[in-house]
Amino acid sequence: MSIKERVKGLLREIPKDVILEAAAKTRTAKEIDEVIEVGIKVIGENYVSELKKVYPDVKNKAKWHFIGSTKTQKHDLLKRKVLEIIDMIETIDNFDFAFELNKKCEDLGKVMLVLIEVNSAKESRKSGVYPENVVELVKKISKLSNIKVTGLMTMGPNVERSEDIRSYFRLTKGLFSDIKSMRIENIDMEFLSMGMSDTYKIAIEEGANIVRIGTAIFGPRRKK
Ligand SMILES: *Cc1c(COP(=O)(O)O)cnc(C)c1O
């Protein structure tokens, strides 16, 4: 099956109110253009270097979400030209980064949409905020004028059977609903980003409205 056929199939399959985000790490501008031509509206990039490489060809034909580490790429990410391009950062997991991001966005006159990344399985080597610390971080970020929290994102642990990830998605959805019901000022709980190629069906069943799919769209990733 071609990339375009895979996208069309996925768009037919997933509910209309769920955003199919194409996770584009290692993919070329040409491949990204192809998925946009058949209806993809959001591209997820993990690396600032790759975003810079493909952006000049793709430009604003889709929205750009950053889904990579804000820790290892902090300095690249906080560059004016990069922040101008990005529509949403899905991987906010600490206040210090949020504070600096807010300052840069103030200079730019931009309000950056962000999601809080939840480390739903509490894996010490992975990014994301532990579930019990999410509410506190959301409340702190709510005071920053040039960042708007619009929901949560989670990766979940690597599992052998896809079904084993369900409880982590459910936990994240619970947190999402709790925060939504708190009606915190300047917080707009709209997006729940969870599920990848092997787990998007389970994620949608558990309430995701953004799924981030790479392999099931583009095929296996090329080795770098
Ligand atoms: C690579 C990646 C995906 C997509 O993974 P696939 O298994 O290829 O669908 C989704 N989210 C993030 C954060 C990723 O890095």
Q: What integer pLDDT is reported at residue 208 of this predicted model?
A: 98
Residues with C-beta less than 6 Å from any ligand 1 atom: 23, 25, 46, 67, 155, 196-197, 212-216
Q: What is the pLDDT of residues 44-58, one digit of tens each?
A: 999 999 999 999 999
b/e per residue 178-196 (b: at least 16 CB within 10 A): ebbeeebeebebebbbbbb
pTM of the shown model: 0.97
Q: What integer pLDDT is reported at residue 120 of this predicted model?
A: 98
In a domain, 223, yes or no: no
Q: Domain tally for the chain?
A: 1
Is the predicted pLDDT of residue 218 greater than 80, yes or no?
A: yes
Which atom from ligand 1 is nearest to the alpha carbon of 213? 9
Q: What integer pLDDT is reported at residue 222 of this predicted model?
A: 73
The tally of CA atoms less than 13 A away on the side-chain side of residue 68 is: 20
**Residue 79 C-alpha to ligand 1 middle, in angstroms?**
24
Q: What is the pLDDT of residues 134-182, one digit of tens each?
A: 999 999 999 999 999 999 999 999 999 999 999 999 999 999 999 999 9
154: containing domain: 3-218
User: Looking at residues 189-194, what average pLDDT do you find?
Assistant: 98
Q: What is the pLDDT of residues 80-138, one digit of tens each?
A: 999 999 999 999 999 999 999 999 999 999 999 999 999 999 999 999 999 999 999 99
In a domain, 28, yes or no: yes
Pocket probe for ligand 1: among 20, 70, 196, the residue whose CB has the most ligand atoms within 8 Å is: 196
Q: Which residues contact 133 (CB under 8 A, 6 or more apart)?
A: none
Between the CA atoms of 68, 69, 75 and 76, what dihedral angle is there, to the nearest 10 degrees? -20
**Residue 208 C-alpha to ligand 1 middle, in angstroms?**
15
Q: What integer pLDDT is reported at residue 224 of this predicted model?
A: 57
Which atom from ligand 1 is nearest to the alpha carbon of 215? 8
In a domain, 224, yes or no: no
CATH number of the domain at 35, please.
Answer: 3.20.20.10
Pocket probe for ligand 1: among 7, 40, 67, 202, the residue whose CB has the most ligand atoms within 8 Å is: 67
CA distance 87 to 66: 8
In a domain, 121, yes or no: yes
